[in-house]
Amino acid sequence: MSSLTAALYGVLIVYLGGWFLGYWTGNFSLLLFILTVVTLLYWLAERLRFKPARAAAAAALEQQDGARRAELARLGIEKVDGDVHEAKARLLMQPWWLDWTAGLFPVILAVFLLRSFLFEPFKIPSGSMIPTLLVGDLILVNKFHYGVRLPVINKKIIDNHAVQRGDVMVFRYPVDPRQDYIKRVVGIPGDEISYVDQTLSVNGQKVPTQALGEFYDEDGMRYSPLFSEKLGAFEHRILVDPKRQPYYGPDPKNFPMAQNCRYTAEGVNCKVPPGHYFMMGDNRDNSQDSRFWGFVPDENIVGKAFFVWMNFGNLGRIGSFH
């Protein structure tokens, strides 16, 4: 068993090393599930077989020592050298390969349940959600806000809150579901979304905005026009820079249900299909989002982002956001 455990750890180290070096894309949810199952098997084996066997061996040793002492006492020998307590303790000691598997099961199980059903941490890797979220923000995502989903396969089994316009959502990138993206929900099923000449409209109504001056992007080392936007129940801030307006077409886009969208050089108009959502970054001119790769299906939802729990470069970032 020690050789098998060493081999399993070797495979884990190679997998994590290749993931870290970029040789392949890892799936942390699947990895955590496999670790939970493997350590559970070791934990059951420890409880049902290995621990009882060690206890039986220790009891046999103690019984043999008692019998030897009784026999020596019968022969008149009262003083007997030797103490089985140390040997008994060694017999009862958990070997390293169980300590590093069965011993880790409760911790891995707690992390798996917490991450799968309650809250999951994420790190913001890009500036697409500036000014709401900055590069380096460590955020928490509520995994049960939109409903309870089975881990790994992400199948919803219990409904909760409906997705609302204005929510900041983490989801599996439709082009490559192995990657997680974070954007703001702009359109829900049935909405008519228009983003033309850097102006957002929902169902024919322009979304209210108000100029707030300029925002200095420390990473990009530039100023951008800052606005507040009322989308849904709360206001949030966005960046819109007329000097950096992206180009949308008129070439046809290739993504599922692309026929629901019409592209011009000035922008895009889309009808959100059932069971899908239209997502945009708050950094409107520096965000690859639904304008370019299409709609997010409901089964790709990971959860609702709601709290910055750490930014090592700026502790003032800690707190909730809209």
Same domain, 172 and 100: no
Instruction: Name the token pair of 315.
Output: 């502790």
Considering Cα of 68, then 71, then 75, then 79, what sign does the dihedral take?
positive
Confidence of residue 53 (pLDDT cuts 50, 70, 90): very high
Rounded Cα–Cα distance for residues 178 and 84 (Å): 56
On whether the CB atoms of residues 118 and 304 are closer than 8 A, the answer is: no
DSSP-derived secondary structure for 60-75 = HHHHHHHHHHHHHHHT
Question: What one-letter code names the amino acid at 29?
Answer: S
pLDDT higher than threshold 70 for residue 251? no
39: exposed, middle or buried (C-beta count within 10 Å: 0-12, 13-18, 19+)? Answer: buried
Q: Who contacts 104 (Cβ-Cβ below 8 Å, separation ≥6)?
A: 39
- Both 137 and 83 in a single domain? no
Question: Domain ends where: 112, 143, 178?
Answer: 112
Query: Whole-prediction pTM value?
Result: 0.84
The predicted structure's pLDDT at residue 145 = 96
Q: Taking 70 as the threshold, does the pLDDT of residue 82 lie above it?
A: no
The whole domain housing 68 covers: 2-112
Band (252; pLDDT cuts 50, 70, 90): low
Give the pLDDT confidence of 262-291 residue by residue, as tens digits: 998 889 999 999 999 999 999 999 899 999
Question: What confidence score (pLDDT) does residue 85 get?
Answer: 80
pLDDT at 205 over 70: yes
- Confidence check: pLDDT of 158 > 70: yes
Question: Would the pLDDT of 84 be above 90?
Answer: no
DSSP 283: B
Residues 108 and 158 in one domain: no
DSSP state for residue 253 in the 8-state scheme: P
212 with 313, same domain: the answer is yes
Mean pLDDT of the chain: 90
pLDDT tens digits, one per residue of 286-321: 899 999 999 999 999 999 999 999 999 888 899 999
What's the pLDDT at 80?
63
CATH of the domain at 230: 2.10.109.10
CB-CB contact of 304 with 169 (8 Å): yes
The domain tally of the chain equals 2
Amino acid (one-letter) located at 141: V
- Answer yes or no: is pLDDT of 250 > 80: no
Share of the chain above pLDDT 70, in %: 97
The set of catalytic residues is: 128, 183
Nearby residues of 241 by Cβ (< 8 Å), 6 or more positions away: 224, 225, 285
Q: Do 180 and 188 contact (CB within 8 A), yes or no?
A: no
